[in-house]
Amino acid sequence: MPGSLFIVSAPSGAGKTTLVRELLARDPGVRLSVSYTTRAPRAGEVDGVAYHFTDRADFIARRDRGEFLEWAEVHGNYYASSRIWLEEQMRAGQDVLLEIDWQGAVQVRRIFPQAVGVFVLAPSYAELENRLRGRGTDSEDVIARRLAAACEEMKQVDQFDYVIINKDLQVAAGELQCVVRAARLRTPLMRRRSPQSFFSAV
Q: Which of 3, 13, 104, 117 binds ligand 5GP (CB under 6 A)?
A: 104
Q: Could you tell me the CA-to-CA distances from 79 to 59, 123, 130, 154, 187 in Å, in that order?
A: 9, 27, 27, 20, 33
Determine the interface stretch with ligand 5GP among 78-86, 125-133, 136-144, 173-181 (rule: CB under 6 A).
Answer: 78-86
Residues 96/90, Cβ–Cβ less than 8 Å: yes
Is 12 annotated in a binding site? The answer is yes
Scored b (16 or more CB within 10 A) or e, 165-174 reads bbeeeeebbe
Nearer to ligand 5GP, 4 or 9 (CB): 9
Minimum separation from the CB atom of position 121 to ligand 5GP (A): 13
What letter does residue 10 receive in the DSSP assignment?
A: -
Minimum separation from the CB atom of position 74 to ligand 5GP (A): 4
Is 38 annotated in a binding site? The answer is no
Q: What are phi and psi of 120, to 5 degrees?
A: -105, 130
Residues 45/135, Cβ–Cβ less than 8 Å: no
Q: Per-residue contact track with ligand 5GP, 16 to 35, x per CB under 6 A?
A: -------------------x
Strand order in the sheet with 95-99: 30-32, 95-99, 5-9, 116-121, 162-165
Determine the interface stretch with ligand 5GP among 77-85, 136-144, 172-180, 190-198 (rule: CB under 6 A).
Answer: 77-85
Is 54 annotated in a binding site? The answer is no
Residue 100 makes contact with ligand 5GP by CB under 6 A: yes
Is 14 annotated in a binding site? The answer is yes
Residue 5 makes contact with ligand 5GP by CB under 6 A: no
Q: What are phi and psi of 36, to 5 degrees?
A: -90, 140
Binding site for ligand 5GP (CB under 6 A): 35, 39, 70, 72, 74, 79-81, 99-101, 103-104
Binding residues: 10-17
